[in-house]
Amino acid sequence: MDACVCADKTQLHLDPRTKLFMVFVVSTVVLVTATTPFTVFLRTLITFVPLFLLILEGRALSALGFALMYGVAMFLMHFFISQNSSGIIMALLVGYCGIVVQFMPAMICAWYMVKTTKIGEFMSAMQKMHVPDGITISLAVIMRFFPTIKEEYGAIRDAMRMRGIMLGGGNPGKIIEFRMIPLLFSCVSIGDELSCAAITRGLGANVKRTSTVEIRLTSMDYLVMAGFLLIAIVFIMAKYTEIL
């Protein structure tokens, strides 16, 4: 449950709506495959902004990890792999680098949003954007649950290792069953506790909810949004007119 211990320590704390906008732009841009050096540059740029923001929020280590992974994949993709590569190792590399280059930018951005947004802030931002309550609640639960699932899964793996069960005896059904069932058990009970806790705090009551966190768009937010919008427009123009 280490989801949101950061924030407030730094100067630059963006509004959740800005982060959502960033996620939106990055997800749109990564849909389009970058082909020319210029578009590759823009893609890389758009990837490094959330990394930079992660560092500002005091998560330099995970930013470094992401940067390394992305950098290595980019490097391999552009210098080692060509249209004519073949062979098993090359095929693995192509698959791996392809996935990383294709999905990492959006992943990093989503990770940045999830890690640096408090649930309260997120809920209040969604409410300000008039998103239906059901979607907001579910999304908030999803955001909050990824770290929990990871933690629980780690615990299950430890327990399996302690009892000397490595892969479930090589039976694919068992491999999945041994991991999935305990995970479901713990997640369901955590979910039940979570809903009890949330309902006692008035979630789902028929009134407009107020929030203790005040969210406000600052000039920095507008700056970041404008920057991202600009990159997106330039990217799409460069892609479809192929001038650059």
Residues forming the site for other proteins (CB under 8 A): 23, 27, 30-35, 77-78, 81-86, 90-92, 94-99, 101-103, 105-107, 110, 133-135, 137-142, 145-146, 149, 176-177, 180-181, 183-185, 187-188, 191, 194-195, 198-199, 203-204
Among residues 58 and 198, whose Cβ is nearest to other proteins?
Answer: 198
Distances (CA, A) of 46 to 31, 109, 110, 111, 233: 13, 9, 13, 14, 12
Nearer to other proteins, 5 or 149 (CB): 149
Question: In the bound complex, what is the minimum distance in angstroms from residue 58's beta carbon to other proteins?
Answer: 23
Please give the Cα distance from 101 to 79 (Å, whole number).
Answer: 14
Q: Which two tokens stand for residue 107?
A: 């992943």
Nearest approach in angstroms of CB 11 to other proteins is: 27
Nearest alpha carbon to residue 16 among 118, 91, 99, 149: 118
Nearer to other proteins, 83 or 219 (CB): 83
Asked if residue 29 lies in contact with residue 105, where contact means CB atoms within 8 angstroms, the answer is: yes
**Exposed, middle or buried, 66 (CB in 10 Å: 0-12/13-18/19+)?**
buried
* CB 61, min distance to other proteins, A: 22
The nearer residue to other proteins, 22 or 215, going by C-beta atoms, is: 22
Rounded to a whole number of angstroms, the minimum distance from the CB of residue 176 to other proteins is: 6
User: Among residues 27 and 218, whose Cβ is nearest to other proteins?
Assistant: 27
Q: How far is the CB of 198 from other proteins (least distance, A)?
A: 6
CB of 116 to other proteins, least distance (A): 15
Angstrom distance (rounded) from CA 17 to CA 122: 8
Task: Give the H/E segment covering residue 147.
Answer: helix 133-162
Residue 34 or residue 225: which is nearer to other proteins going by CB? 34
Q: From CA 46, how far away is CA 24, in angstroms rounded?
A: 12
Of 126, 6, 121, 127, nearest to 59 by C-alpha is 6
